[in-house]
Amino acid sequence: MTDIRASATRSPTGDDATGDNDLAAFALLPAFRRRQFQPDQEVIREGDPAPHAYALVSGWAFSYRLLADGTRQVLAFHIPGDMPGLADALLGRSSAGCKAATPIVANSLPAYQLRAALTHDPGLAAPVLRALSREAVAAQERMVDLGRRSAVARTVHMLLELGERLQRAGMAVGNGYACPISQILLADALGLSAIHLNRVLRRLREDGVLRFRAGHVVFDDPARARRLALSSRQDTPEPYPGRPRHSTLPGP
Amino acid sequence: MTDIRASATRSPTGDDATGDNDLAAFALLPAFRRRQFQPDQEVIREGDPAPHAYALVSGWAFSYRLLADGTRQVLAFHIPGDMPGLADALLGRSSAGCKAATPIVANSLPAYQLRAALTHDPGLAAPVLRALSREAVAAQERMVDLGRRSAVARTVHMLLELGERLQRAGMAVGNGYACPISQILLADALGLSAIHLNRVLRRLREDGVLRFRAGHVVFDDPARARRLALSSRQDTPEPYPGRPRHSTLPGP
DNA sequence: CGACATATTGACCTTAGTCAAAGAGGGTGG
DNA sequence: CCACCCTCTTTGACTAAGGTCAATATGTCG
């Protein structure tokens, strides 16, 4: 458990052929320092000019940006295998903060050492490039969610996506997973108010699509969830129509 | 003009010390192929499994994702010096489409050649890593805009940011710049309806903040624009208060 | 000039946010 | 074990930002 390689091969298949697990890249790195953080503890400080890159070993973390009035936008959730702060370490300045959502264990590497390693070890660049590229694609998905999907679609979409990532990391079972984040945090990721998110979740629960409760997500109707996740803002009022306060299943 | 280095040094200072111009990285690459595209012509096809990376030499382009019902989210605008499709080329699959917004000239390189070049030339990795990292930071900014800023703040923020990028590329003069994109396109980038964006722009114009017209952006009150851009969704109704239909300057 | 796309504006409606307040769980000191 | 305190979750009532529809300019191009 202290061994990086151990968690790097946490994936179900054992080998990380798809490269989905960023940790695989980092397993090659020297001079990693193992660190632990408690929930809500700051891992990366926004604006830090000498940041560290991290390889998350266990637990959940999240990156965020704070606005002048205290409003927060959560940019990404990090699960074991992710490498928070990678881009920032390469640029030499943290553009966003990162906090632990649960108790976490992470391996850290100072930015300058990362850059040095990249210079000296040509084999390291490829996996880091892939990690960054995947991050870029994930960010695109987020932009589509925030810009063009309804609150319901956005919510379902993100929860499905998290499920897929956890699945690949071997941390999901059947059609559900442990999701140790508060509605407030999720709302800040979805660009919604916590209150509205709560209503959205209630509706999804009452309609038998999914339950988000007590740290767990369960998809009661995965197929419908996937359909909902793809709908856009003013999509056919088919899947999630107008008025029914208490819903009716698929309906006529 | 056909020489890559020429446009790579398009920046005002001549040398690209900050590395803001992605083209600098590409200038090292062999086997570039110069291509031209007309407005609305597809440069990168979403889903293409064998994509090309591009170095934009002149003109504007934009990356986007299409939703089932035809809704579009513009993910980024590309100006000379940018490298659209870089992340996709590294992953071997285009996650988003890219089209020319104006007539453009771009140098293209097949993904496999890019990857080969990265393997053979260790000096190439660093600039590509920086380019990807900058892209990540830009995406974060976009997520904050879409998730947590009002329509007005978002609009002003993006126009200011575009101005800064153009400035660094030596394509902006004083407090304005040529901005050859339609309101529809801008709206799709901001996650707004074109109609609402039009109202926002009208208001900004009437309030003497900025004008977006006939392919040009002019900041009439740059200081106020910057202030507006930082406000969040339910920020103090100070800068952009309630009713005044025809506005009054800063006012009491 | 006609065909088209973009830009504007008005009238109206829906989604999502705000305010206020009441439950629910989980620690903790007594 | 219990009162107290916190934070997170829920719900109701109301407001407002932003979307939808429809129609009218404007502009460009062949």
Higher pLDDT, B6 or B27: B27
Share of chain B above pLDDT 70, in %: 80
Round the average pLDDT of chain B to a whole number and report it: 84
Q: Which nucleotide is nearest to B147 (CA to C1')?
A: C16
Q: Strands (DSSP E) along B25-122, which ranges?
A: 33-37, 42-44, 52-58, 61-66, 72-78, 97-100, 104-110
pLDDT of residue B31: 67
Residues B37/B52, Cβ–Cβ less than 8 Å = no
Residue in chain B nearest A125 by alpha carbon: B125
pLDDT of residue B174: 87
- Tell me what percent of chain A is helix, strand and coil, each rounded to the nearest 5: 40, 20, 40
Distance A195 CA to C21 C1' (A): 13
Topology annotation, domain B4-145: Jelly Rolls (2.60.120)
**pLDDT tens per residue across span A137-159:** 999 999 999 999 999 999 999 99
**pLDDT tens per residue across span A80-102:** 999 999 999 999 999 999 999 99
CA distance B136 to B156: 21
Q: What is the mean pLDDT of residues B205-211?
A: 96
pLDDT of residue B79: 96
**pLDDT tens per residue across span B101-141:** 999 999 999 999 999 988 888 788 889 999 999 999 999 99
Q: Does residue A47 come out as left (phi exceeding 0), alpha (psi in the -120 to 50 range) or beta?
A: left
pLDDT higher than 50, residue A252: no
| CB nearest to A75's CB, from B91, B125, B140 | B140
Domain with CATH 1.10.10.10 in chain B: 149-230
| Count of CB atoms situated within 10 Å of the CB of A17 | 9
Which CATH number is correct for A149-230, 1.10.3760.10, 1.10.287.610, 3.10.450.40, 1.10.10.10?
A: 1.10.10.10
**pLDDT tens per residue across span B166-178:** 999 999 888 999 9
Task: Give A56's contacts (C-beta < 8 A, 6+ positions apart).
Answer: A23, A78, A79, A80, A81, A82, A83, A84, A104, A105, A106
Task: Check whether residue A195 has its CB closer than 7 Å to nucleic acid strand D.
Answer: yes
- Angstrom distances, CA of residue A96 to CA of A11, A76, A141: 28, 10, 19
Task: Check whether residue A24 has its CB closer than 7 Å to nucleic acid strand C.
Answer: no
Which residue from A92, A136, A98 is spatially nearest to A114, judged by alpha carbons?
A92
Residue A37's SS3 state is strand
- Does the distance separating the beta carbons of A129 and B129 come in below 8 Å? yes
Task: Check whether residue B216 has its CB closer than 7 Å to nucleic acid strand C.
Answer: no
Round the average pLDDT of chain A to a whole number and report it: 84
pLDDT of residue B199: 98
Least reliable range by pLDDT among B8-17, B95-104, B140-149: B8-17
CA distance B213 to B207: 15
Topology annotation, domain A4-140: Jelly Rolls (2.60.120)
Domain with CATH 2.60.120.10 in chain A: 4-140
Structure tokens at B131: 């380019």
